[in-house]
Amino acid sequence: MTTPARVPAPTLALSANDYVHGYSSHETRRLTDQADTLAALLHSDSAYPVGSKVLEVGCGVGAQTIHLVTTSPEAHFTAVDISSSSLAEARARVVAHAPGAHVTFLQANLFELPFPEAEFDHVFVCFVLEHLAAPRQALTALRRLLRPGGTLTVIEGDHGSTLFHPDSAYAHAVIDCQIQLQSTAGGNALIGRELHPLLTSAGYQDVTVRPRTVYADRSRPALVNGFTRNTFIAMIESVREDALAAGLITPPDWDRGTADLHRTATDDGTFHYTFFKAVAVNPPSATSAA
Amino acid sequence: MTTPARVPAPTLALSANDYVHGYSSHETRRLTDQADTLAALLHSDSAYPVGSKVLEVGCGVGAQTIHLVTTSPEAHFTAVDISSSSLAEARARVVAHAPGAHVTFLQANLFELPFPEAEFDHVFVCFVLEHLAAPRQALTALRRLLRPGGTLTVIEGDHGSTLFHPDSAYAHAVIDCQIQLQSTAGGNALIGRELHPLLTSAGYQDVTVRPRTVYADRSRPALVNGFTRNTFIAMIESVREDALAAGLITPPDWDRGTADLHRTATDDGTFHYTFFKAVAVNPPSATSAA
């Protein structure tokens, strides 16, 4: 990327003010819970070679970073985020979990990353595209930082995959509030299903997308607690005030909906959600032309 | 089961007249396509020991039977269905695919199976509960045919797991038609999410349910064709006349919806569906009391 200014720079939803998931310490706990519970499901097959240079874009509080460095202790990571407070938490988390890890932290905008073209062997992006108004342009910009033949890994959810027992129209209504708020902020909570066309249209090759499905019932209490309750329902509950302020739902309907969601995490309840993990290659003959 | 008459005998939706998927030869091809494409996903981890006695309930045209006998060539299967024509097809299919397989075919109602209590080591039920008005009672009845410590395996879909790109309200509307028709016939096209509570309430122990997620995009043309197009969309299209006759949708909306579904199987389309596979144990101390 010789002239970053040439890359379209739409409003980045992933900012401290607009970020739909917020930056509270409760939110930090939720993201950490999620990463721990999902680590094996999402990351167990991501290992980077000794000495390879890996860029993690949108590392946030380091919830995924600690799994990356654990799985690939001899790779050299650069973890970027737009929030300095998140970066401070990420740094502390990595120091606590993997004191010998090779991680450089950097505060920067995804669209204005201060690296030369083809600087990295691999790029890793997890739960970031869902917040961007222009995910394809972001992917194109990131491709220029990858060496020819380098890989991009993307992990995103898709709230349309949510299904549960007992079913409840009220519960779906509160989930729809989150989807609408994220859309209003310029993001897309249904982006998982689009990863293949997105990466393909951004110029990547050999795009492979696979579902990573979380399913929790009473036989898996740690998953019920770690995912259904502390990850998914907590995420939905975190947008209550915004949903009410936007007039998307009434307080009684909100309360009924979240109560019905909690019902799926008790007794005979079940809960299902699918993440999508994509791996793609920057074409060996890549040029700077998008 | 000493007195089969004690088991409640609700109207069995899985009859030649009510069966929502029909019995045409086109339907037979669809079910065979589905079974072939999904075989590895659904059956690769189901192997029964040499000499074990396995009951397959609702074998239909034998689409799953041929995979059962291939995976467990030394087990002894009894394949039951209520339709004599389906059984004839199942027999022919097994003879063609696995001529040495040990399979006894029997025409019978699931609720009036002519076997003594604890006759089988294992029971296998695939795409059957979704058609029953009383799935819990069916599971309870089947448990009495299992020896103490024997296992039950159940595989069912859940149309609520359907998500696709590009998204389309019309496509969801035609899927909803199928869900409503199946419900009207006494079945439940959303039963996958309920397997854990169903099996638990029917008296099984160690109930383990895991999602089996199908995801197809242009990088997997065989799956796009075998599953998205020839299995899922074909199933939806098979209920067109019934949906129109029931007044669930207008012809233009139906056509738009199915066109949008086909759109997900072309170009940059993607398609996602989750099956649920359950394995459970008949308690070692089981008695004839439900």
CATH code of the domain in which B77 resides? 3.40.50.150
- Closest residue of chain B to A166, computed from CA coordinates: B194
Nearest beta carbon to residue B161 from set A161, A167, A219: A161
Does residue A136 fall inside a structural domain?
yes
- The pLDDT of residue B288: 47
Tell if the CB–CB gap between A276 and B193 is shorter than 8 Å: no
Continuous H helices in chain B: 25-43, 65-71, 84-97, 135-143, 169-184, 195-201, 221-223, 234-237, 240-245, 251-263
- The pLDDT of residue A191: 98
In total, how many domains does chain B have?
1
A266 touches chain B (CB under 8 A): no
Does residue A14 fall inside a structural domain?
no
Does residue A12 fall inside a structural domain?
no
For A:105-164, CB contacts with B below 8 A are 158, 160-161, 163-164
- The pLDDT of residue B289: 45
Instruction: Determine the length of chain A.
Output: 290
Does residue B154 fall inside a structural domain?
yes
Nearest beta carbon to residue A272 from set B201, B211, B270: B211
Does residue A3 fall inside a structural domain?
no
Nearest beta carbon to residue B219 from set A160, A208, A217: A208
Residue pair A67/A44 in contact (Cβ under 8 Å)? The answer is no
Domain enclosing residue A230, as ranges? 22-283
Q: Could you list the pLDDT tens digit for every one of the 290 residues in chain A?
A: 223 322 222 222 233 334 455 556 666 665 555 556 678 889 888 899 999 999 999 999 999 999 999 999 999 999 999 999 999 999 999 999 999 999 999 999 999 999 999 999 999 999 999 999 999 999 999 999 999 999 999 999 999 999 999 999 999 999 999 999 999 999 999 999 999 999 999 999 999 999 999 999 999 888 999 899 999 999 999 999 999 999 999 999 999 999 999 999 999 999 999 999 999 999 997 454 44
A209 touches chain B (CB under 8 A): yes
Non-local (6+) Cβ contacts of A53 within 8 A are: A75, A76, A78, A119, A120, A121, A122
Q: Report the alpha-carbon distance of residue A34 to residue A222 in Å, rounded.
A: 11
Does residue B171 fall inside a structural domain?
yes
Whether ipTM tops 0.95, in short, is no
Nearest beta carbon to residue B217 from set A163, A165, A196: A196
- How many Å lie between the alpha carbon of B140 and the closest alpha carbon of chain A? 17
Q: Which stretches of chain B drop beneath a pLDDT of 50?
A: 1-19, 286, 288-290
- The pLDDT of residue B286: 46
pTM for this structure? Answer: 0.86
**Counting beta carbons within 10 angstroms of the beta carbon of residue B50, is it exposed (0 to 12), middle (13 to 18) or buried (19 or more)?**
exposed
Residue pair B25/B234 in contact (Cβ under 8 Å)? The answer is no
Residue pair B179/B190 in contact (Cβ under 8 Å)? The answer is yes
Model pLDDT for residues A10-43, shown as the tens digit of each residue: 222 233 334 455 556 666 665 555 556 678 889 8
Residue pair B157/B192 in contact (Cβ under 8 Å)? The answer is yes
- The pLDDT of residue A146: 98
- How many Å lie between the alpha carbon of B90 and the closest alpha carbon of chain A? 33
- The pLDDT of residue B24: 62
Does residue A17 fall inside a structural domain?
no
Does residue A126 fall inside a structural domain?
yes
Model pLDDT for residues A203-231, shown as the tens digit of each residue: 999 999 999 999 999 998 889 998 999 99
Residues of A in contact with B163 (CB under 8 A): 158, 160-161, 190, 193, 274
